Each structure stands twice: as structure tokens, then as C-alpha cells.
Structure 1
């Protein structure tokens, strides 16, 4: 971290919960962004720590979406890390340390029973509904999530990102002009369907690596890219997760739990369950293709192999849903030309 220790000491001085003691800094595994994360530890008078988030560059304007969205979620009771301080001139945010156990870690723990895993996901869905229902009321906090939305242009950008980095970049395949036109048309058909749905507060990356498990329950991270989108988006992110493949029976149970709980909270019967499921599957196609583009970008542009093991399970979701609906017959035919590749390994189940 390119910040002199003396200057960092002044940033930390007097900031809750920092005692005036020597500290150590340990890098933490980051996400697919350019942000860096560090854990700052004080050994006495007892283990104490905070997390330092270092932005890739000084924000301009200095208002930070992460902080504004954190305040919005905190105000409605969503469990998010407490904000201790923000130094815009250094691009440093000091946050509550939520520990190191993610939902992914818990689910992959061989000692966890199916019922314990199910209980964690039920709680994650409860938090999701809290964000969608209470969180979709703008209030007076000027939350930037309400100025952004998943519209056709945004969905299309992400699918073209997939085409550029997954097919043309990672797989090094040139797409024929006729197939380019077909992809553009088929992507557009899908995006128009998703973009016309009613919009809710959407975390945008609500998956097992952004949900922390603590004794008190689940806590939510990495919400700075929140925007408005259809209610199936975060649900697809959670249940069609590149990092955790849930048993199909459990996915069905969790989808029904989401619908029943939403009916209770809103006092309205949801009768169009078949259409809800169709939109869930369609959203998963878009979301999973977008994730494939991100994984490929990390390899092609940054030389990172970290995300390569998650290409196969993510692609398996895509084929599962493309096979399910005649709507996708044309898209499936074109994608198979380019994605059937020996460079993509078979997915591994949990």
C-alpha cells in the first residue's frame, strides 16, 4: 500500500475503535475490482481489528457511492459494516471488520449439514427482501442507487463485454459477421424483456462471497454498485452463484420461500409463479454470461487465473437455461459454435 506509515498513523489516530498502539497491516483477498483491502490489527489490550479499503484512485467528486449506499442500507436495518472514517484525499475508507468467513466458506465446510446450509440461505433471502421492499423507498438520503438502473443499454453492455472478453479474448475466436448480427438481435430480445420489469433496489453482486457469516447472523458487503433492477436479479445472483452450486431441489425450495415470504410482507398474492420462474431463468442467463465476461477479462487483461475454475460451473448454468426454453434456440445454436471448447473444463459440484 503506497501510503507512508506516518501518514497512515494520522489517518487512524482517534478513529474508533483504534487504540493508540502499534499496528500491523495484512493484505486481504480482494474482488474483481481494482480496490485493495487490508486488515489492521492491534494485539493489545485484546485482539482488535478494522478493515481498510483503498480505492484505486482518488474519487471525483469526493462523495463515494459506497458510503451513501452504506448509509441507506444501515438506515433500513440491513446488516452492513459500520463506517469509521473516510479520507477522500487518500482514497481510504475504514470499516468494521466482519471477520473472514464468507457464505461460500460455510457452504463448502464439510461439517455443514444440508439443513444448516438451507437456514443460511433462508436468512440471505430475508435480507434480500428487506433490501427490495424497504430499500426501494428512496427516502431523503440521495442514495446513488436510485439514479442508476438495469436498462437495455446496461444489460447489452454486459453481454457485449462477455462476447468481447470470453469469446474473442479468452477463447481467441473470431465471430463471423452473420453470427455477430444474430448475437446482437438475440441479446437485444433478452435485454428488452428484463428491462421492462418493475424495478427494485438491487445489490448487483449478491452472492456467497459478498455475504459474511458471523455469530450474530449474515452481513452484506460489496454493495457500492447497487442500482435499480428487476427483483429476480439478486435472487439469480444468489441461487445461480458461480462459486457455489446448490442442489436443484434446494433452489426450488428457496424460490418458493422467496415468493411466500414476499406475499406475506407485501400483503399481495403472487399468482404468476410460472412467469416469475421464467424471468428468474432469463435473468440467470444474462447474469451468468456477464460473469463469464468478467472472469475472462481478469485473465486476458490482468493475467489472473483466480477465476478460471468458475468458468465451467457458470457455463453449466447457461446451458441448463438455454436448453429449457425454445426462446433461446437461436442463441444456443450460435453460442455452441464458440463456447464448445476443450479449454473449458467440466464443472465440479459442491
Structure 2
């Protein structure tokens, strides 16, 4: 069997004809996409590979980047067969929009949509979370500030940036937010609590979750990355580069900033979170067309934080249920702790806060048992 058998047959044959190419499968998180690092003898061989792939596809070339790779290393992305053509187009389309906002994304060198096959720029292996683990949080604060500036650029693009991006055709909804919260609740009760919810717990969920989702959808709806956190910011040449943006859509103005500064993957202190939100707020005031009330924004940030962190907790638990990449479950307590802090800062959510405090204890006990 060819060592390139994971690829579509025509691409496999192209790779088989390049004797010196090195292939390394990269580890993903919970994505069903597959990523491979292809290393060639030099950038010229990498360019020839792209040209030959396009010819071998026997299709009209769906997309070719204006830039030619200057490095000998490329990243090949394979999308799952179901819906791969649509997903491929979304990656190209949303990436083009983000780049037009002046925000770095990996360059797309080739996309053959019908195969679900893309070749993109190799950004290396250092994510924001890796930088923090290696160099400490103090050395990552400038990256956070840059990421916040990028976020505001995407939310409030300049007049010359076209609004024809596919992301503007889709929107979050209160029903979608509620579904994510209910999914978390079902998984948490089954996997962690190992019991059905009590009547009082169900009453709190029915009341407070609906209120949270309704409040979120009352915010101004802007371009939303949907997964803007430390694992989706790569560091190249000392600056962040945004990845994993294919699910972008219209969403609450504070959704992405909540995702970034209340990210369960990173233990940001309260002072750091406040400093970063202050930075975001100052940029927002300069860009937004609306009269912003800081008190209202604090409440809006809290409801986004609760929903976003519990949604993330549901993702970690779903991975546990599928018995893959279970190391993500170690972030479960921090996700609940962030949601708990936000609930305690929100009037009218005392019952939810008390429930989450008990659930946080259960999550810590579950993690101990899971790691033993």
C-alpha cells in the first residue's frame, strides 16, 4: 500500500511520483478534517507539486492562490467526504474575507472542492496556548492584544471590504444556543453526574438557559469566528494568525471576545481578563456606530461567557463519549468555573450559579477518577 493512500487517488499518484517528499500526519483536536505536513526538496518542487495536482484532478481549477509558496513545506487538508465540496468553498471564501480585513490567515495555494482537498501555508506548530506554556502568560499579552485588534477588524471591516462573504448569509439563533446548552446538560448528567437531573435543576435550566439565549440574540449581530481561542491562533514571525474559521457566521457582538478571554484552555487571571476586555472596549468605542453602555456590555459579556463555556464543556464531554482525544476533559472544570463566575456576576442567575458550583465539584471529582 502506498504511504500516501489517505489522499484521493489522483493526488496519491502525484505524491508517489515525488521520491523525496516527506509526509507527516498532524494531530488534530476534535475536527474530522485530516492535516498532513508535506516537505519537499525545495520551494520549486512544492510549486511543481501544486501545478501537477491541478492537472491530475482533471477539473477546472477551483481556486489557486495568487501567491506561490516560498517555503518547501506545505499543509495538505483533507475534508470528510460528506459535504466536502461545500466545506472547501467555505474555507476559501471566509479566509478571503478575513484576509481582506487585514487579518493574517494561512494562504490557500490550491483547493479542489470536489475532492475536499486543499493545500495551505504551513504556519508551524506554535499556537497561542503553546507560547503561553513555553514562555509564560506575560510574554503572550501582546499576542492577545493583537488578536483582539484582529477581532474588531473582522467585526467592523472598512468600507472597501466587500460583504459578500458566505458568513453573512448564516446566523446564530436562540434555538441553536439553547440546543448547545441542552446538549451539554444531557452529557454532563449522563457522564459526570450519572443520574437524571433533579426537578429543581431542570427548573433552573428551563428558566435561565432560555433567558441567556434570548439576551444573547438581543445583542448586535456581527461577523463571528465562532471558535476564537488560544488553540486557533497560530504564532508565526511573532504575530498571531487566525485558523479554523470555516464555521463563521453572524453572531452576538461579544461572543468571540468571551471565547478568547474566558478560554478554558488558558488560566487567565481576573485582572488579565479585565485588561483585555478594556482593550477590546476601547477599540469598540472607536469603531462602533452605536452608543455603548459599559454596564450593559458587562452583563452581555457574562451571558455570552456562560453559554460559550458550557458549550465548550459539552464538546469535551462528547469527545470522552467517543473515547478519543480524552485529554480535553482536563479543561472541563475550568470551563464550568468560568461559567460559574459569570453567573455570579449576573443579577437573576443566583440559582444557576448555585447549581454550577455543585456541578464544578462533581467535575473535579470526575476528572480525578478519569485520570487515575
TM class by shorter chain equals 0.7 to 0.9
Question: Is the partner of 1:32 in helix, strand or coil?
Answer: coil
Does structure 1 residue 242 correspond to structure 2 residue 240? no
Task: Please state how far the C-alpha of 1:185 moved relative to its aligned partner.
Answer: 2.2
Aligned residue for 2:62?
Answer: none
Which SS does the other structure have where 2:325 is aligned? coil
Deviation at residue 58 of structure 1 after TM alignment: 4.3
Contact 1:213–1:219 (Cα < 8 Å) also in 2: yes
Q: Residues 340 and 23 of structure 1: is their aligned pair in 2 closer, same or farther, counting only changes over 3 Å?
A: same
- Aligned ranges 1:169-184 → 2 under 5 Å: 169-177=191-199, 179-184=201-206
1:16 matched residue in structure 2? none
TM-score normalised by length of structure 1: 0.87
Match of 1:48 among 72, 77, 82: 72
Aligned equivalents of 1:301, 1:288: Cα separation in 2: 20
Deviation at 1:48, TM superposition (A): 1.4
Q: Does 1:3 align with 2:28?
A: no
* Shift in CA distance, 320/215, structure 1 to aligned 2, threshold 3 Å: same
Aligned residues between the structures: 337
Q: Does 1:64 align with 2:89?
A: yes
Q: For structure 2, list consecutive stretches of 5 or more residues without a partner in the other structure.
A: 45-70
Relative to structure 1, is the Cα distance of residues 45 and 80 closer, same or farther in structure 2, using a 3 angstrom cutoff?
Answer: closer
Q: How does 1:74-93 map to 2 (within 5 A)?
A: 74-93=99-118
With normalisation by structure 2, the TM-score equals 0.82
Give the C-alpha shift of residue 322 in structure 1.
2.0
Give how far 1:104 is off: 0.6
Give the 3 Å change call, closer, same or farther, for CA 230–240 of structure 1 in structure 2. Answer: same
Indicate the residue corresponding to 1:279 in structure 2.
300
CA contact (8 A) 1:147 1:227 kept: yes
- Tell which has more relative contact order, 1 or 2 (C-alpha 8 A, sep 6+): 1
160-169 vs 198-207, greater mean Cα deviation = 160-169
Q: 2:340 aligns with which of 301, 319, 322?
A: 319
Counterpart of 2:227 in 1: which secondary structure?
coil
Q: Distance in 2 between matches of 1:57 and 1:135?
A: 36
RMSD after superposition: 2.8
> Which structure shows the bigger proportion of residues in helix conformation?
2
Partner of 1:208: 230
In structure 1, list runs of 5 or more residues that go unmatched: 14-18
Instruction: Please give the alpha-carbon distance, in whole angstroms, between the structure 2 residues aligned to 1:121 and 1:56.
Output: 32
Q: Measured at CA, do residues 339 and 247 of structure 1 come closer, stay the same or move farther in structure 2, by a change above 3 Å?
A: closer
